[in-house]
Structure 1
Amino acid sequence: MTFITLVAFLVIFGMYSFHVLEAKEPLCSKFAYEEQLLEKMIRTEIKVETMVNEIKKTEDNVISTLGDIKQTVTDMFADMMGNITDEMLRRSDEIKRREESFTKLFEETRTNLTSDMKAKREEELIQLQGKLERPPIAFHAHHVADLVLDTSDEIIIFTKSLFNEGTGYDTSTGFFTAPVGGLYQFVVHTCAYANKYAFIGLVLEGEAIALDSNYDGNYYTCSTVGAIVRVRSGEKVWVKSTSSASNRQLQQDSLRMNTFSGVLINK
């Protein structure tokens, strides 16, 4: 009992001592601690509020800076787009002007080419029509009835006609009368009797346009003379002896032929 009583006493004494000690602690220390703690909390809250204000101010600055950057970028982009748009418009106008110039040049070239082709076609049609409307004019006559050339300026008449397109040559007179004016070619082929002379002239309206002479003491000889000349409609061309005497004589036989021919080359 004594040991148990002792233990209980010690426990009760310890509890009493604890309460006594707790009761002896100054009551003001608790309030001081709380005051200090409150002060710390207030200071901490002020610091936090200051930090919040600083953060908000920083956030506002960041937002303002971002806004300025955004506005700058927007302005730069707008300027760039404006420059690009202006350049595109300028190039578009230039392309349009070039297109209009090319179109105008093409139209002028096409018009000129069409006009030239039309004029050339009309000219060719007129020429073709003239050729179609123009009868062929050509003749070829032979066989001289009077071979002796003893008369001054004697007209040599070729009495036979192989063809006479346009009926310009007259076998009775020896004259070729141009049905139409134009450029003609005439050819005279004559043969001289052996040991005889032949002096021949091609005449247009009384004016000699070609001359020839032919002679051989032992053989019959032949020669040809011709001319290309412009003849007006109605003018006459003929062949004559330019020197007449008893020793002037032509020759024709089965081996030799005297001929007079002509053809209209162009009007």
Structure 2
Amino acid sequence: MNMINICLIFGLSLLLLSAEGKDKNAELLYEAKILNNIIRMELKMEVMAKELKKTMAKVKTFTEYQKKIYENRTATLHVLKGRQNNTVIAFSAYSPVDISPATNQIIVWQHTRLNEGNAYNNTLGTFKAPVSGLYYFAVHACHYSSQTLYYAITLDGFNIASTYKYDQKNQDCDSISTVTMMRAEQRVWVRCTSGSSANQLWESTGRSSFMGVLLHL
């Protein structure tokens, strides 16, 4: 409340008292009352404006605070997403259980050097994708001389890479690899595409192996 308004109210109050006391000028009294009410309303509006200004300042502070919370949570989500994208799934298995696999038999690699994510089953010989993504698989297989080794990398029963290797005089090795998209729960394994009762897989201290790794989610 400024000094001018205070003086006006005080002056009007005196005028009202004077007019009422002398009862001389009813019109003057009426106008003085109206003017007094107007000034009081203006004073109330000034108080309300100050309160509104304070409220707006509080709202601005609250909005800025909520914005910071949102930014922090967004940053946290980015970090968590980055951690998810860095999920490590990889395996390296060796030592086939059966060195004379039959046609369509799964070649089971019984030992693992690495099995991050526990997605390779060394009892069944299958890799089960824990998450959907882009995967890389490779097989390194050695065979006995004068024996042809036929094998393939299989995704849920369909060959996605296949080869055969034969050498009449020497024991030899061969490799195949492939990159494929997989959905979660799909399986990959190595199967013999043409079997024989003779020894086919030449195994010595992990010479033949099967490996895979998640490249990208």
TM range (shorter): 0.5 to 0.7
- Distance of 1:198 and 1:216 partners within structure 2: 10
Matched, 1:171 2:171: no
- Distance of 2:180 and 2:77 partners within structure 1: 24
Q: 2:100 aligns with which of 126, 139, 148?
A: 148
More helix by share: 1
The residue aligned with 2:149 is 198
Matched, 1:184 2:135: yes
Q: Give the partner amino acid of 2:208.
A: N
What is the CA RMSD across the aligned residues, in angstroms?
A: 2.0
- Distance of 1:208 and 1:248 partners within structure 2: 23
The residue aligned with 1:137 is 89
1:197–1:247 Cα contact (<8 Å) kept: no
Q: CA deviation at 1:145?
A: 1.6
The residue aligned with 1:162 is 113
Q: Give the partner amino acid of 2:165.
A: N
1:177–1:234 Cα contact (<8 Å) kept: yes
Distance 1:185 1:128, change over 3 A: farther
Partner secondary structure for residue 121 of structure 2? coil
The residue aligned with 1:261 is 211
Partner secondary structure for residue 190 of structure 1? strand
- Residues paired across the two proteins, number: 144
Larger-Rg structure? 1
Q: CA deviation at 1:239?
A: 0.2
Partner secondary structure for residue 83 of structure 2? helix
Partner secondary structure for residue 124 of structure 2? coil
More strand by share: 2
The residue aligned with 2:53 is none
- Distance of 2:105 and 2:188 partners within structure 1: 14
Partner secondary structure for residue 194 of structure 2? coil
Give the alignment's TM-score, normalised by structure 1: 0.51
Alignment of 1:18-97 (within 5 A): none
The residue aligned with 2:58 is none
- Distance of 1:146 and 1:228 partners within structure 2: 26
Q: Give the partner amino acid of 2:161.
A: A
Q: CA deviation at 1:126?
A: 5.5
Q: Give the partner amino acid of 2:210.
A: F
Distance 1:182 1:125, change over 3 A: farther
Structure 2, gaps ≥5 residues long = 1-73
- Distance of 2:184 and 2:116 partners within structure 1: 16
Give the alignment's TM-score, normalised by structure 2: 0.62
Matched, 1:209 2:160: yes
Cα deviation, 1:140-176, whole Å, max 9, x if unaligned, reads 0000121012x22010000000010000000000010
Partner secondary structure for residue 179 of structure 1? coil
